[in-house]
Amino acid sequence: MIFKSLTTRVIVTLVGLLSVGIGTFTYFNLKREKDQLVKATRENAYLLLDTIERSIYKSMSVGDTQDVQVMLQMVGHSHSKLIGVRIFHPQGIVLKSSRPEEVGMPVPEGDYQLFINNRKEGVYSSDAFGEVLGVIKPIYNDVLCQRCHGTKKRLIGVLNVNYSQVETNRRILEATRLSLVSTGAVILFCAAAISLVIVRFVRQPLNNLIDSMARVEEGDLSVRITPVAEDEIGRLIVSFDSMVGKLDKAKRELEEYHFQQMERADRLASVGEMAAGIAHEIKNPLAGISAAMTIIRQDFSDEDPRKEIIGEVVEQVSRLDKTVNDLLFFGKPTPPEPTYADVNAILRKTLLFALQHKGGKNIAKSLDLADGLPEIFVDPKQVQQVFLNLILNAIQAMQADGGTLTVGSSLVDLDGKGWVRTTIADTGPGIPEPIIGKIFTPFFTTKAQGTGLGLAICHKLITQHGGTLSVTSEDGKGTVFTIDLPVAAYEEGAPEEEA
């Protein structure tokens, strides 16, 4: 669980890398120091060996062998690290030694093995002296030596020096301990410093940010954080405050908009009920006026100008009757009577009615209906009402300059479900951007003689059938209305051909 924390992983990683780095440096430093101590011991041994060799050569050249023994004893007691200095026979018998008791005794096995293996130096373990550095140097039968040793022997002896490695090893051990303690102290100090810095400048600000985000998640949008530094965490906090401020502003605007919409919905409901009541009271007198005007019109001859005036009155009464019907439907819509229907058949029937419109003579029509579309479960009359309203709007939009009316149908897949899509497009002037978001709002209209209920009723009818009605428009190039209705889900036992 502890390693799920980002700061913990960062601290552990940094301390681990630091430990590896410092440990590697300490290892090579210790190795270098050990090599230097061993090298110093060897150099001292070789220096002593050369000095003794020159002294022995000088004494032996004058035949004073007794001085050699005395000299070896003096040298053997001159240094605490020096265990012994000796000259032994190639067969392994000590001839001269700083320790007189060794004379005539076999040379130590470690030193003799160096000679046998033709090595100049080596370290071996001794029961009496511990770890010993042994250095040997053969004494060859030079011309001056041949007076005493003859000419038959090429090698007359081996000079041997033994140094104790106990002090060197002790110093190496002390250096190792000191390095380990120093390394551990440095690592602990660096780990504490890294932890303090990360906790202070990373973990605490992140925890504050997490706590504030939790409060925002609970709905408190008044949360603000004061950044302590102008680093990445500080910029993140500034961005968080900006985001929360925008959310708070959007929330207030949304609440205000929701309140306005609720008030508007209440007003529309009241207006709808009042309009339905008024429309019901107006509808019957309008029917009587229309019938009376029609009878009166028949009494005039075709040449009588009063007949044209009566005809205009009848047309205006018909327009008022349509407005009354729209108000009645909006105030109290008729429940749909759904059945299985073919959208292409509804479109063809609707176009047949729409082509009778007087403004559609100089408008080209284009049909792009997909074959084999599945049926939809809708009220055909209400869907036809929607199609007719949209097609007549398209014709009216192109009435002045002409254009092309395109009606299409297709099968689309939305979120894994089948939908029958119908598109009604025109090449008219289009809908301006500020207006397009309001066209489905009840009583909103840009027409001189419109009620503003046509598109609102269309949207309401399609929504009642579980579909969607959307619009896209480009100013100056035309408008496309898109109607998506769900494919019919047949109940068990219902024949697919019945529609």
Q: For 209-262, what is each residue's pLDDT tens digit?
A: 888 888 888 888 888 888 777 777 788 888 888 888 888 888 888 888 888 878
Q: Which residues contact residue 221 at a Cβ distance below 8 angstroms, ignoring those fewer than 6 apart? A: 244, 247, 248, 251
Q: Show the domains of the chain with their CATH numbers.
A: 2-172 (3.30.450.20), 226-332 (1.10.287), 339-486 (3.30.565.10)
Q: For residues 405-423, give the mean pLDDT.
A: 91
User: Looking at the predicted structure, is the pLDDT value of residue 498 above 60?
Assistant: no
Lowest mean pLDDT among 156-160, 384-388, 397-401, 425-429: 397-401
According to the model, what pLDDT value does residue 496 have? 47
Q: For residues 345-363, give the mean pLDDT.
A: 79
According to the model, what pLDDT value does residue 406 have? 92
The listed range with the strongest mean pLDDT (56-60, 287-291, 464-468, 473-477) is: 464-468
Q: For residues 25-36, give the mean pLDDT.
A: 84
Alpha-carbon gap, residue 93 to 70, rounded angstroms: 19
Span 162-179, pLDDT tens digits: 888 888 888 888 888 888
pTM value is 0.44
Alpha-carbon gap, residue 30 to 180, rounded angstroms: 10
The listed range with the strongest mean pLDDT (8-12, 161-165, 316-320) is: 161-165
Lowest mean pLDDT among 123-132, 259-268, 343-352, 473-482: 259-268
Span 53-74, pLDDT tens digits: 777 777 766 666 667 777 777 7
User: Looking at the predicted structure, is the pLDDT value of residue 33 above 70?
Assistant: yes
Tokens of 323: 């407005």
For the chain, give the longest Cα–Cα distance. Answer: 176
Q: For residues 146-163, give the mean pLDDT.
A: 76
Average pLDDT, whole number, for the chain?
81
Q: Name residue 211's amino acid.
A: D
Residues paired with residue 409 on neighbouring β-strands, in sequence order: 369, 422
- Percentage, residues of the chain above pLDDT 70: 83
Q: For residues 143-171, give the mean pLDDT.
A: 77
According to the model, what pLDDT value does residue 145 have? 66
According to the model, what pLDDT value does residue 267 have? 66
According to the model, what pLDDT value does residue 21 have? 86
Q: For residues 459-468, give the mean pLDDT.
A: 90
Burial of 261 (0-12, 13-18, 19+ CB in 10 A): exposed
According to the model, what pLDDT value does residue 63 have? 62
- What 126-129 contacts at long range (C-beta under 8 Å, 24+ apart), as own/partner pairs, is 129/83, 129/162, 129/164, 129/166
According to the model, what pLDDT value does residue 374 have? 93
> Residue holding tokens 């067969």?
91
